Amino acid sequence: MLVALGPTSTDLYLPSLPSLGAAFGASVAETQLTLSAFMAGLAAGTLIYGPVSDRFGRKPPLVIGLIVYSAACLACAVADTIDHLIALRFISAVGGCATGVLTRAMVRDMFDREEAARIFSYLGGAMALAPAVAPIIGGAVHVHFGWRGQFFVLTGVGLTLLAATLLLLSETNKQMNPSALDPGRLARNILYLVRHKSFLGFALTSGFTYGGLFSFISGGSFVVIEVLGVAPQNFGYCFIFVALAFICGSAIGAKLTRKIGILNMMQLGVWIGVIAALTGLTLALTGIANVVVVIGPVAIVFFACSFVFPNSLAGALAPFPEMAGTASSVAGCIQLGMGAVIGVAVGALFNGTTVPLFAVITASTISAVLAYYGIVRRAEAKA
């Protein structure tokens, strides 16, 4: 449930994005800032929770984060300007990102590198259930309650997770570090991580791959609803195919990782992603635009992402058991920060066709291939 909060927060209100912008008189780029601001908040918040959890444990900061998230979502529901909504989305993300950072650190607390990759694959499948279901629910909420109803629903989700955390979750950090929050030590740890070739390579490969995925999350509703003419309440039925592709990939990846290892899984993922992206871009450039030729390549990109994410995360965190929270924070910040920047690019380039969407996805997936071969493979060969 915790790992699903992030995608639920972005995907539930996707069917409402075009009408939300119209309600505030905002442009496509301004409206998409509600998504990019959320991603920026996630990136900023990840740098907080990891070190705090290394010092005080995983559960206390998780509880605080869920309280902040729930309160900010309630404020989003009554926002009166697009600027206020963008700011409140940032605050809600700073609270909600505790779930992603701390669940990753919990897995690292309990499992070794290969086993962690398998568990991350299963969690990825569970996380993908949110984008499979959330847009469909969001479409129904939009029809009956409008865009504000989406944020009342998210408030309820946050409060439910808060109750579940208090009642059901156990502490997993058995190596609390009293000096984890020392400013000098924290700065040295972060600097050490970003200079660590293997860690940086895994994080960048994951980040560029996530950029391809988030391109569709950010711009997909405008393409599907405004360009292809799909009704908002039916958007979720298009989105479910890409989510199911991710779920299938996660299930396959959880079993395949044990046989071929995390590096080969990542290699397979980045190549599948770039081939699918180039296919989509070619179709877009030829002027072919319908649901099948848009959703098909995007679904394959999502499938490829499920091979990259868990294995890159396991590879990034494995060398740092004594600062798993901090490593999770920095890796998450890199990934989400890249998603925020790429989301802004999708909104700025939107021109009423499918070309900008696939151009950004293609650029992201090609960058992932370059990061994998240019950094990860070289660093692992020297290890």
**Domains with residue ranges and CATH for the chain:** 5-168+183-382 (1.20.1250.20)
CA dist 104 and 158 (Å) reads 19
**pTM, to two decimals:** 0.77
CA dist 332 and 74 (Å) reads 26
pLDDT on residue 319: 82
The answer to whether the CB of 74 falls within 8 A of the CB of 169 is no
Maximum CA extent, the chain? 59
List C-alpha distances in Å: 19 to 23, 24, 235, 341. 6, 9, 13, 23
Q: Which two tokens stand for residue 309?
A: 């994410």
pLDDT on residue 57: 87
Q: How many Cβ atoms sit within 10 Å of the Cβ of residue 20?
A: 20
pLDDT on residue 107: 83
| Ranges of residues in the chain whose predicted pLDDT is under 70 | 113, 125, 128, 383
pLDDT on residue 205: 95
Angle at 227 between CA 87 and CA 142, to 5 degrees: 50
CA dist 226 and 212 (Å) reads 21
pLDDT on residue 383: 62
The answer to whether the CB of 6 falls within 8 A of the CB of 100 is yes
pLDDT on residue 326: 77
Q: How many Cβ atoms sit within 10 Å of the Cβ of residue 353?
A: 14
The type of residue at 287 is: G
pLDDT on residue 286: 93
